[in-house]
Amino acid sequence: MNPPTFAIVGHPNKGKSSLVATLARDASVRIGPEPGTTVYAREFPMRVGGRVLYTLVDTPGFQRARAALDWLRQHDTDAASRPAMVARFIREHEADGIFRNECELLRPVVAGAGLIYVVDGATPYGPEYDAQMEILRWTGQPSLAVINPIGEPRFVEPWRRALEQFFRVVRVMDVLQAPFEQQLELLRAFGQLREEWRSPVDAAVTALIEHRERQVEDAARVMAEMIADAVTHQEIRDLSKDVDPAPHAAALEESYRGRVRQIEEVARREVEAIYGFDEVDREEAAMKLLETDLLSRESWLAFGLKKRDLVVVSATGGAIAGGVIDSALLGASFLTGSVIGGVIGGAMGYFSSEKLGDLKLLHQPMGGVRLRFGPSRNVQFPFVLLNRALLHHAVVAGRTHAQRGVMRVGSSSGTAGQPSGGSTRELARIFDRLRRSEPGSESRAAALVYLTGAIEALIRNDGSDSSPIKG
């Protein structure tokens, strides 16, 4: 089963290179707003585990399609000879420069590549495109058409009616933001166009699905380890017995907070690398919800639990004693003295990140003292970490390699269904187990396994996307 090759062809600046970058998962494909960015045909193999699944060929756009078709018709003998006539056209014109673009884009097709013809659904269909489609039909190669809805796709239906006269398969697809399943659908459609391509295309689709499963598993593991590291982290400073510990307390807490932020940032970079975006620019100020500071009130408002769920989770984690919520676990201003079952008030203090952990003063056997900040017992904290990680994953996993520039997150970036209250309680139990476990212990390893599985389930909640959980 030789891996198939697909040549992406069409008029200049209609999304050909973007489709190549998306299907090849290759950010090195040159993409520009100006026509003529692609001047030579270039191959981009799609590899998984070192194995080539298929190859995409980025080609320049048609420039003189009508004149090229006139030449072909002048030399036409019969329909059976037309593919050979296209090959002859290339041989006779590849050196004269008149039909440079046409020769460049037709060469891989004559060599056996299938055709994906890309048009712009926001541009009116006109008869000038007929010459392009007729030339492609002369090649005799399997072909399908993609209508790329750039901007306002007002002309999709006229394009569909025209394309269906030349192509067996016509798909509407935003080549810049096509979801993973839509990419697979396009590949499956190609597998139906030629019998000998069905097996290699099916194998490629299977390999891509398995690869995506591994990506989800790896990302879930990274996210679980990030949460475990953050909720169990502690900062320690040893002082001699004649040193006043008070001036060191604020610096120790600030060091703790800085390390927690760093743990989250490192995990984000690992998740981005898992999906092949290890060199993507991420402009912190442009990330809106995600890029509010991890420990800011805005972040906890956006990513923390609701009041009623927080009470349930607190009980699960052992935060309730004698019917009163322990405010030390939930933030300095969280419902101090409130009785469960009473009217929940106290403004929005329960989102506070002020009380992340406790500062302990420990006496050393040989004299001196040890200052320790952490680990965090704040029941909100791991849920804020988890929800931020889920939303970040949704953005990364949903990004195509055709998208350039910074990643941006809006208020509706995550749209997956919300887990049940039972799921929230189970997560709280796992977080509590992590807090109580020692580094390297079997208990910690088991909790990480459970947490990784729970995060995988949340990522797959709607098949592709993920969103902050709210209980």
pLDDT of 226-265, one tens digit each? Answer: 999 999 998 888 877 777 777 778 888 888 888 988 999 9
User: What pTM was estimated for this model as a whole?
Assistant: 0.79
Q: Is the dihedral of CA 240, 244, 245, 247 positive or negative?
A: negative
Give the confidence band of 446 by pLDDT, cuts at 50, 70, 90: very high
Per-residue pLDDT tens over the stretch 296-347: 666 666 666 665 565 555 555 544 333 333 333 333 333 222 322 332 333 2
Residue 446 to residue 437: CA distance in whole angstroms: 10
Q: Is the dihedral of CA 277, 278, 283, 285 positive or negative?
A: positive
CATH fold for domain 5-193: Rossmann fold (3.40.50)
Enter the tokens of residue 23. 């299907």
Question: Residue 452 belongs to what H/E stretch?
Answer: helix 442-459
Strand partners, 115: 7, 143
Per-residue pLDDT tens over the stretch 22-54: 998 888 888 766 655 667 889 999 988 888 999
Strand partners, 118: 10, 146
- Judged by average pLDDT, the poorest of 150-154, 199-203, 325-329 is 325-329
Q: At what angle do helices 421-436 and 307-316 cross, to 10 degrees?
A: 40
From its phi and psi, is residue 379 left (phi > 0), alpha (psi between -120 and 50) or beta? Answer: alpha
Of 228, 187, 225, 193, nearest to 209 by C-alpha is 187
Residue 408 to residue 283: CA distance in whole angstroms: 8
Count other Cβ atoms within 10 Å, centred on residue 134.
Answer: 16
Q: Where are the domains of the chain?
A: 5-193, 214-459
Give the confidence band of 361 by pLDDT, cuts at 50, 70, 90: low
Length of the chain: 471
Q: What per-residue confidence (pLDDT) applies to 359?
A: 66
Q: What per-residue confidence (pLDDT) applies to 355?
A: 64
From its phi and psi, is residue 36 left (phi > 0), alpha (psi between -120 and 50) or beta? Answer: left
Sheet of strand 51-58: strand arrangement = 42-48, 51-58, 5-10, 114-120, 143-148, 169-172
pLDDT(120) > 60:
yes
Q: Average pLDDT, whole number, for the chain?
A: 79
Q: Give me the half-sphere count of Cα atoms (radius 13 Å) on the Cβ side of residue 290.
A: 26
Give the confidence band of 442 by pLDDT, cuts at 50, 70, 90: very high
Give mean pLDDT, residues 141-164: 90
Position with higher pLDDT, 30 vs 443:
443
